[in-house]
């Protein structure tokens, strides 16, 4: 393992070095760059080079993805940082607060889905007129099973 010195601290990283340090494939780094999540420049030999702080940005992206935040929202959040800087601890606190409400809603939805799934397994049939998962918010279910709209059309 290379020793960190003042010279290597400011040494830009190649895409391979970023891939090795982050544990991500090069193709993922290229994808992130195409989406504007990370940035590089080209060396005199036309090779991608990254500032070392890209590793922190990649870590933030991966954590956000792990909790289910879409990449478009991650890009928007990172773009909101002053001068597009790499997030520090205070920035992460603000970014995570933005996503907390969204996560709470997702947890509530998943909990309801889990509870409704148990009901369906209990009935064993997944019937359209009784299944809140298959047919949520069905106002026609109050009129009994069957093709209510088709029956109305036939009566015209």
Instruction: Report domain extents, the chain.
Output: 6-102
Q: At residue 122, does pLDDT exceed 80?
A: no
- What digits encode the pLDDT tens for the residues 129-154? 556 666 566 666 666 666 666 555 55
Which residues, at least 6 apart from 8, have a Cβ–Cβ distance to it below 8 Å? 2
pTM for this model (two decimals): 0.64
C-beta separation of 86 from 58 below 8 A: no
Q: Percentage of the chain surpassing pLDDT 70?
A: 67
Q: Tokens for 141?
A: 């279910």
- Dist. CA 89–CA 85, nearest whole Å: 12
In this structure, are residues 99 and 86 in contact, taking their beta carbons and an 8 Å threshold? no
Strand partners, 14: 49
| CATH architecture of the domain with range 6-102 | Orthogonal Bundle (1.10)
Task: State how beta strands 41-42 and 13-14 pair.
Answer: unpaired
- Using pLDDT thresholds of 50, 70 and 90, give the confidence band for residue 126: low
Which 3 state secondary structure label does DSSP give 41? strand
């Amino acid at each position: 393992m290379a020793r960190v010195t003042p010279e290597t601290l400011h040494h830009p990283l190649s895409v391979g070095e970023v891939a090795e340090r982050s544990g991500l494939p090069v193709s993922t780094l290229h994808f992130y760059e195409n989406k504007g999540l990370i940035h590089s420049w080209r060396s005199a030999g036309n090779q991608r080079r990254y500032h070392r702080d890209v590793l922190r940005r990649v870590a933030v992206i991966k954590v956000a993805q792990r909790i289910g935040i879409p990449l478009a929202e991650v890009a928007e959040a990172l773009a909101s940082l002053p001068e597009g800087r790499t997030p520090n601890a205070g920035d992460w606190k603000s970014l995570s607060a933005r996503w907390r409400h969204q996560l709470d809603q997702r947890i509530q939805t998943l909990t309801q889905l889990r509870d409704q799934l148990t009901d369906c397994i209990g009935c064993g049939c997944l019937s359209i007129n009784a299944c809140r998962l298959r047919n949520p918010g069905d106002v026609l279910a109050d009129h009994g099973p069957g093709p209510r709209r088709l029956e109305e059309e036939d009566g015209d």
